[in-house]
């Protein structure tokens, strides 16, 4: 079983749509959770950290359910510029500064 699992997509949505991505992780000792965004042939960039209480950054909302080991990302009012691969990331329980990445979910926003 992979440490971090995501639906690879692609998710094809029209501009203005709301889209949700989910992710599960296997190590219950993980302490930190993130969503990174990766544009085609570019490096990953931190989108947002994810907290148990849930957090929001503009059109983006992230949720963490520790009991179910489940992380989600909601994007409202999708823009063409949101088209990218979204990587779910947790820290390794043994080496805290080691990041464990999912394979990513592809989002394509179309006009």
Partner 1 sequence: ETGVTQSPTHLIKTRGQQVTLRCSSQSGHNTVSWYQQALGQGPQFIFQYYREEENGRGNFPPRFSGLQFPNYSSELNVNALELDDSALYLCASSRASGGAKTQYFGPGTRLLVL
The answer to whether residue 97 forms part of the interface with partner 1 (CB under 8 A) is yes
Single out the segment in contact with partner 1 by CB under 8 A; choices: 9-17, 57-65, 76-84, 85-93: 85-93
Burial of 36 (0-12, 13-18, 19+ CB in 10 A): buried
CB of residue 32 to partner 1, shortest distance in Å: 3
Determine which residue in the list 27, 32, 55, 69 makes contact with partner 1, applying CB under 8 A.
32
The answer to whether residue 4 forms part of the interface with partner 1 (CB under 8 A) is yes
The answer to whether residue 64 forms part of the interface with partner 1 (CB under 8 A) is no
* Contact present, 84 and 107 (Cβ < 8 Å): yes
- What is the number of alpha carbons within 13 Å of residue 19 lying toward its C-beta? 24
- How far apart (Å, rounded) are the C-alpha atoms in residues 99 and 90? 6
Contacts with partner 1, residue ranges (CB under 8 A): 4, 31-32, 34, 42-46, 49, 87, 89, 91-92, 94-104
């Amino acid at each position: 079983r992979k440490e971090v699992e995501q639906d690879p997509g692609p998710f094809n949505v029209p501009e203005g749509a709301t889209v949700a991505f989910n992710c599960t992780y296997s190590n219950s000792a993980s302490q930190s959770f993130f969503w990174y965004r990766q544009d085609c042939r570019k490096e990953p960039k931190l989108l947002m950290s994810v907290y148990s209480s849930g957090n929001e950054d503009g059109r983006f909302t992230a949720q963490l359910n520790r009991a179910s080991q489940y992380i989600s990302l909601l994007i409202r009012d999708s823009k063409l510029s949101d088209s990218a691969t979204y990587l779910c990331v947790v820290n390794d329980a043994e080496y805290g500064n080691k990041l464990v990445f999912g394979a990513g979910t592809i989002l394509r926003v179309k006009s």
